[in-house]
């Protein structure tokens, strides 16, 4: 496969083999490496980064979200689309995902929703681990709400977990807040966001 990719991509067979080695070091078995390598090369090309970095990013995202190697194409598509449509890069997304993926996976938030949120933060100038810190802080606060948070959520009549204790998702959270903010002043909205999600979420 390394020889084949060396002849059909911008990378040499040796570079493809190096990417395979990196994936092996991340714990991928032979079949997983064969499944993930072509997409890893595509990620390196799309992000204009070294193959070793692309392999590192891909393996981190896959393991963080509990995804199989066969879903590397999905990961690459999400990263590439986010990097080209928002003020982010594949490298900065890699930093963000490395930290946020375990939290998002625990709350069953799909990679597409997380990427969209990181992209929006990137458009606001919040990138890499800064974006991760903001999201992690907000999500962890929702998981363990304080009395003040519970009072504010009750006041707004909002819930972020369903009757089964499952997180409603980032997109639904935004929708719920938008509906609850109708009629509020900008100051009241800012106070609500700060109380529920923390000062960094502003």
- Which run of H or of E encompasses 100? helix 90-106
In which band, very low, low, confident or very high, does the pLDDT at 113 lie, cut at 50, 70 and 90? very high
Cα angle 141, 112, 36 (rounded to 5 degrees) comes to 120
Mean pLDDT for the chain overall: 91
Q: What is the DSSP letter of 26?
A: T
CA 25 to chain centre: 23
Could you tell me what percent of the chain has a pLDDT over 70?
Answer: 98
Percent of the chain past pLDDT 90, that is, above it, reads 77
Maximal CA-CA distance, the chain: 63
Q: How many CA atoms lie within 13 A of 76 on its CB side?
A: 21
Q: Cα(44)–Cα(33) distance, rounded to whole angstroms?
A: 16
Return the bridge partners of 161, or none: 167
**Rounded distance, CA 118 to CA 86, Å?**
9
Give the distance from CA 192 to its chain's centroid: 25
Tell whether the model's pLDDT for residue 199 goes beyond 70: no
d(CA 26, CA 19): 11
Asked if residue 185 has pLDDT above 70, the reply is yes
Distance CA 49, CA 43 (A): 8
pLDDT for position 172 = 92
- Residue 186 pLDDT grade (very low, low, confident, very high; cuts 50, 70, 90): very high
Whole-angstrom distance, CA of residue 127 vs CA of residue 131: 5
CA–CA gap between residue 176 and residue 73 (Å, rounded): 32
How does pLDDT run across 58-99, given as a tens digit for each residue?
999 999 999 998 999 999 999 999 999 999 999 999 999 988
Mean predicted confidence (pLDDT) in 154-179: 93
What pTM did the predictor assign? 0.81
Q: Is the pLDDT of residue 200 over 80?
A: no
- In sequence order, which residues have a C-beta less than 8 Å from that of residue 65 and are 6 or more positions away? 101, 104, 105, 111
CA-based angle 195:198:202, to the nearest 5?
A: 100
Task: Mean pLDDT check: name the lowest of 4-8, 31-35, 51-55, 124-128.
Answer: 124-128
Q: Token pair 């070091």 is at which residue?
A: 25
Burial 18-35 (b: 16+ CB within 10 A, else e): bbbebbeebebeeebbeb
CA-CA distance, 119 to 98, in Å (whole number)? Answer: 15
């Amino acid at each position: 496969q390394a020889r084949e990719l060396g002849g059909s991509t911008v990378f040499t067979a040796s570079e493809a083999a190096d990417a395979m080695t990196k994936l092996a070091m991340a714990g991928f078995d032979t079949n997983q490496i064969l499944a993930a390598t072509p997409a890893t090369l595509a990620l390196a090309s799309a992000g204009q980064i070294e193959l070793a970095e692309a392999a590192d990013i891909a393996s981190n995202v896959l393991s963080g979200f509990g995804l199989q190697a066969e879903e590397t194409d999905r990961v690459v598509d999400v990263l590439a689309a986010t990097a080209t449509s928002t003020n982010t890069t594949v490298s900065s997304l890699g930093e963000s995902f490395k930290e946020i993926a375990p939290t998002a996976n625990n709350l069953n938030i799909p990679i597409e929703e997380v990427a969209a949120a990181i992209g929006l933060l990137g458009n606001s100038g919040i990138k890499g681990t800064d974006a991760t810190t903001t999201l992690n802080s907000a999500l962890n606060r929702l998981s363990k709400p304080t009395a003040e948070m519970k009072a504010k959520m009750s006041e707004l009549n909002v819930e972020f977990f369903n009757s089964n204790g499952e997180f409603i998702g980032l997109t639904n959270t935004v929708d719920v807040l938008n509906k609850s903010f109708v009629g509020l002043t900008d100051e009241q909205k800012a106070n609500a966001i700060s109380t529920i999600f923390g000062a960094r979420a502003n």
